[in-house]
Amino acid sequence: MTTPGRSRGFRDVIRHFYLLRLLVNKEVKVRYRGSVLGLLWSYIRPAVQFVVFYVAMGIFLELEKGTPNYAIYLFSGIVVINFFSEAFGNGARAMVANGGLIKKIFLPRQLFSFATLWVAGVHFVPQMVVLVIACLIVGWAPSLLSVVAILVGLIITAVFATGLGLIFGAANVFFRDSENLVDLYIMVATWLSPVLYTWTMVQDKFGDLWFNVYMLNPLTPAVELFHFGWWRGTVDGRFGVVLEVPPHLFTVWTPLAALVALLTLLVGSLMFSRLEGRFAQEL
């Protein structure tokens, strides 16, 4: 005997996979309704973002002079942050945005959060295609370890974004100020990870103690794993340089980032399951 109307967490996401696909299709169609370019905006937005950051940081602040293939370095970090920002931001607003459905019918609420992750993945793929082409043009030579690093970095980012999306998605139903907190975190996410600058700048400026605190952010190892997989394969052994990864990246920081991401997902799932029964009446 189970309480009517109570979901079973991740198991419902698997059991109702068809509904998940319908929600993803709905989100994509609604987003580009009336749009002339449609999915092409998935290329245009990151391209404009890349140009702005490259001109500001690479040319004006001359970071490209000290960072070989800075364009690849910058874009490989941007795609991770964009994926995280969209998955987290939309996940945090998913319950309120779908309030009409939640109030009318019962379906597993977590489907809305996972749908936003899937939609973020739809927009992530075109950026990855551009990144692969750019890396091949400049002589990308991937190894098995670099491919594994990319996959692990992507999984950490997806799990962390989903966990935060569940936490803030539930909180946003009761406290709409949560949206402002989400916007603030997304705004500084790019600067809290080595996307525009290198990790050595942080270590040189603040020392080992604060560098270790800096590495506790799961996005930082995830971004560095992407740099290892994409950028390092275009630079290492060339231009007269041999790149160094952050100390203990694979042995300490990556496992720790994965653990933090999993704990965030667990806390988010428990918090979501505890509060979802009140969503309809609060919305």
Give the chain's mean pLDDT: 83
- Contact of 227 with 194, CB cutoff 8 Å: yes
For residue 134, give Cα distances in angstroms to 31, 36, 276. 28, 27, 44
Q: Which two tokens stand for residue 79?
A: 């795609």
| Average of per-residue pLDDT across 68-95 | 89
Res. 262: pLDDT tops 80: yes
Give the confidence band of 80 by pLDDT, cuts at 50, 70, 90.
very high
Give the DSSP H/E element, type plus range, for residue 34. none
Average pLDDT over residues 10-22: 72
pLDDT, tens digit (0-9, with 9 covering 90-100), for 242-260: 567 889 999 999 999 999 9
Query: Is 94 in contact with 171 (CB distance < 8 Å)?
Result: no
Output the pTM of the full model.
0.88
Query: DSSP letter string over 217-264?
Result: STHHHHHHHHIIIIIHHHHTTSTT----PPTTIIIIIHHHHHHHHHHH
d(CA 87, CA 45): 16
Are 9 and 269 in contact by the 8 Å Cβ rule? The answer is yes
